[in-house]
Amino acid sequence: MNFNLTDEQQLVRETCRKFADNYLKPKAAEYDRSHEFPWEHIEKLSGMGMMGIVYPEEYNGAGMDYLSYAIIVEELSRGCASTGVIVCAHNSLCLSPINYFGNEEQKKKYLSRLTTGEWIGCFGITESNAGSDAAGTTTTAELKNGNWVLNGTKNFITNGGVASVNVITAVTEKGIGHKGLSFFIIEKGAPGFSVGKLEDKLGICASPTTELIFDNCEIPEGNLLGKKGDGFKIAMHTLDGGRVMIGAQALGIAQAAFDEAVAYSKERKQFNQSLSNFQAIQWMIADMATEIEAARLLVYQAAVLIGSGDRRKYSKQAAMAKLFASEMSHRVTHKALQIFGGYGYTKDYPMERYYRDARITEIYEGTSEIQRIVIASNVLG
Ligand code: CAA
């Protein structure tokens, strides 16, 4: 596979890198402290086409390729991991199922406004007793007098509360497991819809994570997305794409920590010499550099494959990219903080934030254990 970037992809990288350095990085610590949603960043990114990265120009999307998308998420996450995941959850988890499974009316109404950033989107499959077991959903949807009536609570929803468009799974036929799930579009403001608890988290603090509550929530019959009974497969298809971009987010966080650690190791003197003169530090840096490159190759490969057609064929590559990049990010941020010593443990430096932000990439959009299940089932058949 050829990873020589085209002129357009290089331009995308340079633009996003500058944006991350000039806008995201200087404010990331403050957003982390305040837990505020970075509206100013999202407004600017909307103007740059980053809220509709791979979607057709016909629906106001930027029509870019998936490798460009991965590069964008990597670079944004280098500056601010919260902004990185806000962009990912919106693009991968909300716009993707509407683009692939929505009808013309749904695409015109929703996709065209989501791609411009006028509306933000979120995706809900998780419930208190249906996390890794995504088919264990208990939220129900019943068709009554031409409307779907939804009841239940989704939790751990990225972009919850700020989203104008919520796409979720619900049971339309009980007792038949995943085949009884369907997918729905719920607009903010739908009667009976509210946003519940806002989670207080370890990391990615500027990215809101909330409950979505459906209490006899009524939506039009036409807000069923795809076919009745296809909800689980739509969710899995969506996550195959999303997982690659969480890999890209993990990569960006690791790269940021690595760059800071390398610079610090050259400046910081102990025993009358730079830390970088010590072999113990050199070996850490060599291992970090190698792991980052390996993760980048897996993420870029998966991005190209996922963008090239039938996602199902590439579930394994998407799972491998997320698994390796997220666990790599954990190891790299751990070592980078170690190089910073006591200073790395303080809030005077960004190292502790990278360490906290990296941790979630091993959990959301499928834990490392789920990625191993997907990989093993593809290998073993
Ligand atoms: N694409 C399309 N269809 C798929 C698929 C895929 N990638 N994977 C499986 N399917 C289909 C299968 O072919 C099968 O169809 P048939 O019944 O017609 O044969 C059906 O789905 C069921 O497949 P499995 O038997 O393999 O399903 P399972 O119940 O064993 O679950 C699983 C598999 C991999 C464990 C899955 O449940 C899973 O990925 N769980 C993790 C869920 C997850 O990632 N949650 C994260 C929440 S989202 C989030 O974090 C967002 C946020 O806002 C932060």
Cα–Cα distances in angstroms (integers) from residue 224 to residues 38, 220, 228, 244, 360, in the given order: 31, 8, 7, 26, 31
What is the token pair recorded at 227?
């076919």
Which CATH homologous superfamily contains domain 7-114?
Acyl-CoA dehydrogenase/oxidase, N-terminal domain (1.10.540.10)
Please tell me the predicted confidence (pLDDT) of residue 2.
74
Q: Answer whether 17 contacts ligand 1 (Cβ < 6 A).
A: no
Per-chain mean pLDDT for the chain: 97
Closest-CA residue to 234 (of 185, 187, 186) = 185
Paired tokens of 304: 């190209």
In the prediction, which pLDDT does 335 show?
Answer: 98
Residue keyed to tokens 């299940």: 373
Centroid of ligand 1 to alpha carbon of 232 (angstroms): 6
Across 204-219, b (16+ Cβ under 10 Å) vs e yields bbbbbbbbbbbeebbb
Q: Is the CB of 107 under 6 A from ligand 1?
A: no
Q: 315 CB under 6 A from ligand 1?
A: yes
| CB-CB contact of 125 with 154 (8 Å) | yes
Instruction: Specify the CATH number of the domain 121-231.
Output: 2.40.110.10
**Topology (CATH) of 237-380:** Butyryl-CoA Dehydrogenase, subunit A; domain 3 (1.20.140)
Beta bridge partners of 153: 213
Out of 8, 352, 365, 369, which one is annotated catalytic? 365
Nearest to 224 by CA among 160, 291, 280, 146: 146
Single-letter residue type at 144: K
Residue 58: Cβ within 10 Å count: 12
**Which tens digits make up the pLDDT trace of 131-147?**
999 999 999 999 999 99
Residue type, 109: K
Q: CA–CA separation, 277 vs 269, rounded Å?
A: 9
User: How wide is the angle at C-alpha 259 spanned by C-alphas 255 and 262, nearest 5°?
Assistant: 135
Nearest CA to ligand 1 atom 43: 366
Inform me whether the pLDDT recorded for 254 exceeds 80: yes
236 lines ligand 1 (CB under 6 A): yes
- The residue whose CB lies within 8 Å of the most ligand 1 atoms, and thus the one to mutate among 90, 178, 181, 312, is 178
The arithmetic mean of pLDDT across residues 322-328, rounded, is 99
112 neighbors 154 (Cβ within 8 angstroms): no
Q: With DSSP H G I counted as helix, E B as strand and the rest as coil, what are the percentages for the chain, rounded to 5? A: 60, 15, 25
Residues in contact with 268: Cβ distance below 8 Å, sequence separation at least 6, in sequence order:
274, 275
The predicted pLDDT at position 52 comes to 98
Residue range 56-98, pLDDT digits in tens: 999 999 999 999 999 999 999 999 999 999 999 999 999 999 9
Beta bridge partners of 19: none
pLDDT confidence tier of residue 3, bands split at 50, 70 and 90 = confident
pLDDT of residue 129: 94
Rounded to an integer, the average pLDDT of 220-227 is: 98
Instruction: Name which of 64, 31, 29, 35 is nearest 50 in CA terms.
Output: 64
Distance CA 308, CA 306 (A): 5
Closest CA to 358 of 323, 328, 317: 328
Confidence of residue 202 (pLDDT cuts 50, 70, 90): very high
Q: Is the pLDDT score of 215 beyond 80?
A: yes
Q: What is the pLDDT of residues 267-315, one digit of tens each?
A: 999 999 999 999 999 999 999 999 999 999 999 999 999 999 888 899 9
User: Tell me: the pLDDT tens digits for 332-341?
Assistant: 999 999 999 9
Q: Which atom of ligand 1 is nearest to the CA of 123?
A: 53
Instruction: Give the pLDDT confidence score for residue 1 in this predicted structure.
Output: 73
**Distance from Cα 86 to the centre of ligand 1, integer Å:** 23
* Delimiting residues of CATH 1.10.540.10 domain(s) in the chain: 7-114
For residue 346, count CB atoms less than 10 angstroms from its CB and return exposed for 0-12, middle for 13-18, buried for 19 or more.
exposed
Pairing of strands 165-171, 121-124: parallel
Does the beta carbon of 361 sit less than 6 angstroms from any atom of ligand 1? no
Question: Could you count the other beta carbons within 10 Å of the beta carbon of residue 238?
Answer: 25
pTM score = 0.97
Q: Where in the chain is the domain with CATH 2.40.110.10?
A: 121-231
Could you list the beta-strand ranges (E) of the chain: 121-124, 140-144, 147-158, 165-171, 181-187, 193-198, 209-220, 224-225, 269-270, 273-274
Q: What pLDDT sits at residue 233? A: 98
Q: Give strand pairing partners of 97.
A: none
CA distance 79 to 328: 18
Q: Are 192 and 141 in contact (CB under 8 A)?
A: no
Is residue 211 flagged as an active site residue?
no
Instruction: Tell me what pLDDT residue 92 has.
Output: 98
